[in-house]
Structure 1
């Protein structure tokens, strides 16, 4: 069945997307290879954060520069993503430490499969969970940054007499629409993933407080919220950088 789903996906991507679909497919494969290499590197006991940062830079370049070219809008998006990721990196570390994320959650520990797990893998699972948050944040921020920089570029291309302030305000206005859509996308993605978990916790009579403090719930929830914060922050950052770069030609 997985082969049928993959075939339908690739076929639709090429039919609807055409040349751009082919480029998107190559980008997707490239990103998958990067993450596969990251897993191998982490298993080889290279520090997960170093691997994640290097992989994020590679994914950023592949997704933005290869897929969208090396024009000013791509450079603007690339710089915006880098700025927001650097700004939130310390925050992610702080949240990860305060929440004590990492390792098996309550449900995994109660599972019979946990009897077959080896706990001596010599990998810092807290760092791995922080890496997961960074990767989720990267995807959300890249999506918003590309949408905003492309929109501002189109506005400028049709109205080259607009000043930096007008372009920035246009970016903020369009960013609000992007923000609403992206936040809802993140919300639905989390609900779809966590629905069975929430039903499980309710079935075993977890109180609301216990549910909110359960590691099984908290780790995914933290990832979604931090990604949402990144989507909000990238709007003014990308609008400002794109407007500045376009007017400095």
Structure 2
């Protein structure tokens, strides 16, 4: 049996055993989001399409599927979705500026040899492509933090409906502080895990520490990690405030 099919089957069985129907929806969400990303990349190659606008649209679709398809529409997923969208819009503006200043778009020296026979004049804006790539790398972490804050805040409010806005907001921040460090480290070690072969290659090429840090491919990945960490940190107060407003407003109308 194909290894990919076997691993997918094991993952599906475990998600069904542990998560039940929600686990099955989570498994299906992986493939749906992959299809969305696949078509996003295909459309992004069209020179007439703005990659940043396309990224915003695909981020809305991916976040909506991840939050609403798995957990349905409720008082947890709605503020988490709104918080994710606000954070992504802020991050896209920030990332476009950072990408243009640092000039990390395009290909590095280590990659030029492999694509040297191809033309790089393909009519797309590599700055916007680079910014879109970074925001695509952060969308999962931002959505995860948003739902991780909104869900316990809802539980706190349901058990203590008389809690003040300030105390509920403070609780959201405290929850965010607990998960901020672990998520940032997850992003950091995901980079080193995925680019371990690159680091070994740097060693074989006898790169000094300064050459490694200043290499374009290494800097681009570190900037991606830092931007993802900024997005993770930024979504915490945004998700806390949006969840407070949503829960309090809902209670006023009920």
TM range (shorter): over 0.9
Deviations along 1:69-101, one digit per CA (max 9) or x if unpaired, are 211221111111112122222210111001112
Indicate the residue corresponding to 1:156 in structure 2: 157
Q: Which shifted more, 239-248 or 91-100?
A: 239-248
Residue among 91, 113, 120 paired with 1:88: 91
Q: 1:170 aligned to 2:138?
A: no
Q: Secondary structure at the match of 1:206?
A: coil
Is the counterpart of residue 61 in structure 1 residue 64 in structure 2? yes
The answer for the alignment partner of 1:32 in structure 2 is: 34
Residue aligning to 1:131: 132
Secondary structure in structure 2 of the residue aligned to 1:72: coil
Relative to the length of structure 2, the TM-score reads 0.91
Deviations 1:101-130 (A, max 9, x none): 2222121123xx324434343333332221
Give me the whole-angstrom Cα distance separating, in 1, the residues matched to 2:64 and 2:30. 12
Query: TM-score when scaled to structure 1?
Result: 0.93
- CA RMSD, Structure 1 to Structure 2 (Å): 1.6
Q: Which residue of 2 aligns with 1:10?
A: 12
Q: Distance in 2 between matches of 1:78 and 1:115?
A: 42
Q: Which residue of 2 aligns with 1:213?
A: 214
Name whichever of 216-225 and 11-20 sits farther off.
11-20
The CA deviation at 1:176 is 0.8
Gaps of at least 5 residues in structure 1 are: none
- Matched residues, number: 247
Q: Quick one: distance in 2 between partners of 1:128 and 1:10? A: 33
Deviation at 1:37, TM superposition (A): 1.4
Residues 46-57 of structure 1: matches in 2 within 5 Å? 46-57=49-60
